[in-house]
Chain A
Amino acid sequence: MARTKRGRTALAGYLFLLPNLLGFLAFTLIPVVASLGLSFFEWDLFTPPRFVGVHNFAALLKDHDFWRYAFNTVFLMLTIPVNILGSLFLAMVMNQKLRGIVAFRTMYFLPTIVMGVGTYLLWRWIYNPDYGLINTIITHWLPRWLNDGISRLGVEWPPQWLSSVTWAKPALMFMTFWTVVGGYNMILFLAALQGVSPELYEAADIDGANRWQKFWAVTWPLVSPTTFFVFTMSLIGGLQGGFDQAFVMTRGGPAGATTTISYYIYNHAFAWNHMGYAAAMAWVLFTAVFVATMLNWRFGGRVVHY
């Protein structure tokens, strides 16, 4: 085979691919198939696996905790539109001939770069009910009448944040906003805005459009492919998200208020050794991600202008 030039090229091709392909097979492709198989078994890693058919999936449908945590996952994803609009707004402010834009961009990107256990610990401290930054601000910078007014409405105020069933989710959502608003999405919007031809705005000026009309008639349609892309990616990320932060900051509590599907999978797989049930749940999550992406392409595609 290696006699001809084409044969040599093919052989070289396989050799160049080989290291990566071995890793891909061992740690991605075979595990994907294995976890699908595993989802039809019951296995605690100590006794031999037992075939149970679709029992895991049936049990999942009736698992109230699962649905509760699915609700939590979706609830935490409600920040996605806010985050995206925030990123678009920042990109629009930055898309001008201003000095020092790179410095601002770096500053805004920092939370995304360092996101992880360090920032989760930081926010745990920021949300400390007694000595944290946020409650210090609330008690001393907000006017008294406002604080009194809010507590009179029967809202827990100042909030206990991460240890409060009511406030734990909003606390995580606000932290997510801080983390991602100046990150990848903003950079992508900035690139999209830089690609918009200034002539379009000039034409709109001649037609006497005000700023608001220019936004809806020019900017919004022209960045819509980017909006669509970042929305799809956020959706995919959001459905699988929530484990790291909850593990470090709340352990999924209080009373399961911040447990997401990915956290529930972790618990079943790695805390309780329910390998089959966890694999079934991971596949359900995969299906949800797949369906959400497809629906998004199917219906979201309509509002995209190319």
Chain B
Amino acid sequence: MFRKTISYVVLGCVGLFMLFPFLWMFSTSVKPAGEVFKSFDSPIKALVPGEVQWQNYGKVYDATQGMGGGFARWYLNSILVAVVVTLGQVTTSACAAYAFSRLKFPGRDKLFLGYLGTMMIPGAVTMIPNFILMRKITDWLTVAAPFVNWDAPRVISLFGRAYDVGRLVGLDSYFALIVPAMFSAYGTFMLRQFFMSIPRDLEEAATIDGCGLFRIFTTIILPLSKPALATLGIFTFLGNWQSFYWPLIMLTQDSMKTLPLGLLSFMGLYSTQWTLLMAGSVMMILPMIVVFIIGQKWFISGIQLGALKG
């Protein structure tokens, strides 16, 4: 009994330590702007807002309007990038994992070793040539296919309003944000390990019934792998929602920015408006918390799966 009480006290204190910064973030986000710069004679008083101002959240939206569409646009960009990258990565990884785990073809095992070998390489090594590729690709394409204006940023009209959607490819393009992130050696590896653990009996029965390889993939392998696919999906979504380095070097236009970058340029203009910066941060991390809490079961088992097999 005594031991349990001690354990709860320890767990509770650690929990407070973890949550305290988030409480501070949230309380700052609803404080009146002036209250942030008052000295308090106790941290608890500093933590409780004298007056709750929900309108700070709206102010973030208003204050960033001039920055290429602002917060709402950054939110849309983040959703678009994270969702498309996740769908793409799960699809390409699952297909490749099926090939690596079930289909025999010359060179298969060497290729798989090649995949594994690159997982240890620091991002900086590939980032530099990839940056150069995106920087130069419009020039190269202009030479190869001069009938398309590769360099021009595009604008589309929707519901009577014009939206900047960047170039087709290269810097400041959705292509650059999405396509390079759609292929993952790690995801391929993880799904292959999972597919290997699925018994082959079902597939053999299906083959006798005249099922082709594609039908076996879609009707047997994929349905049986839902937990692994969900795990990879959650990992990828959370990783890309916050991805920072690659968008940072790809983007200059405000209207193309994802949330982390948008928030950073917002900070550049309003460096002391902590109430608004924290409101923006709260809005940015909220979807991650929701996705994490919903997908927690898969997420936790996925961590263990990756480490045990790796």
Contact = CB atoms under 8 A, between A and B. Distances in A.
Interface of A: 6, 8-14, 16-17, 19-24, 26-32, 34-35, 38, 45, 90, 93-94, 96, 98, 102, 104-111, 113-119, 121-123, 125-126, 128, 130-131, 133, 136-137, 140-141, 178, 182, 184, 187-188, 191, 226, 229, 236, 239-240, 243-244, 247-248, 262, 265-266, 269-270, 275, 278-279, 281-283, 285-286, 289-290, 293
Contact of A17 (B38, B41, B111): B111
Contact of B128 (A27, A137, A244, A279): A279
B117 to A, nearest CB: 10
A111 B130 contact: no
A256 B59 CA distance: 35
A20 B93 contact: yes
A56 B190 CA distance: 37
Contacts of A131: 36-39, 46
Contacts of A121: 263, 267, 277-278, 281
Interface string B246-286: 00110000000001110110010000001001100110110
Given A113-B238, A116-B260, A131-B37, A122 B103 contact: no
12 contacts: A10-B106, A20-B92, A24-B118, A118-B263, A121-B277, A122-B278, A130-B39, A133-B20, A133-B46, A247-B248, A279-B129, A290-B120
Given A26-B180, A116-B284, A278-B124, 15 more contacts: A9-B213, A20-B92, A23-B92, A23-B183, A28-B126, A38-B128, A98-B7, A106-B292, A122-B281, A128-B274, A133-B21, A136-B42, A184-B303, A282-B127, A285-B122
Nearest to A96: B7
Contacts of B104: 6, 9-10, 13
Interface stretch (B22-30, B144-152, B155-163, B225-233): B22-30
Contacts of A130: 37, 39
Tier of interface size on chain B: 35 or more
B242 A12 contact: no
Contacts of B277: 121, 125
A28 B103 contact: no
Contacts of B37: 130-131
Contacts of A244: 244-245
A62 B26 CA distance: 48
Contact of A31 (B98, B130, B242, B244): B130
B304 A187 contact: yes
A110 B292 CA distance: 8
B28 to A, nearest CB: 7
Contact of A16 (B95, B114, B118, B132): B95
A297 B245 CA distance: 30
Given A121-B277, A244-B245, A187 B126 contact: no
B11 A104 contact: yes
B288 A136 contact: no
Interface of B: 4, 7-8, 10-11, 14-15, 17-22, 24-25, 28, 36-43, 46-47, 91-93, 95-96, 98-100, 103-106, 108, 111, 114-115, 118, 120-133, 135-136, 179-180, 182-183, 185, 188, 213-214, 217, 238, 242, 244-245, 248-249, 259-261, 263-264, 267, 274, 277-278, 281-282, 284-285, 288-289, 292-293, 296, 300, 303-304, 307-308, 310
Contact of B103 (A13, A26, A140): A13
A132 B101 CA distance: 53
A113 B15 contact: no
Contact of B19 (A34, A107, A239, A283): A107
B300 A123 contact: no
Q: Which are the 3 A-B pairs with shortest beta-carbon distances?
A: A23-B183, A116-B242, A13-B103
Nearest to B213: A12
A6 to B, nearest CB: 7
B94 to A, nearest CB: 9
A144 to B, nearest CB: 13
A57 B217 CA distance: 49
Nearest to B133: A31
B18 A178 contact: yes
Contacts of B285: 114, 116, 118-119
B98 A16 contact: yes
A222 B249 CA distance: 44
A58 to B, nearest CB: 19
B108 A13 contact: yes
B118 A243 contact: no
A17 B21 contact: no
A252 to B, nearest CB: 14
A20 B98 CA distance: 11
A90 B244 CA distance: 30
Nearest to B307: A188
A113 B289 contact: yes
Contacts of A110: 18-19, 22, 289, 292
A45 B135 contact: yes
Nearest to B241: A116
B4 A96 contact: yes
Nearest to A226: B307
Contacts of A289: 120, 122
B307 A27 contact: no
Contacts of B15: 104, 107-108
B125 A282 contact: yes
B304 A188 contact: yes
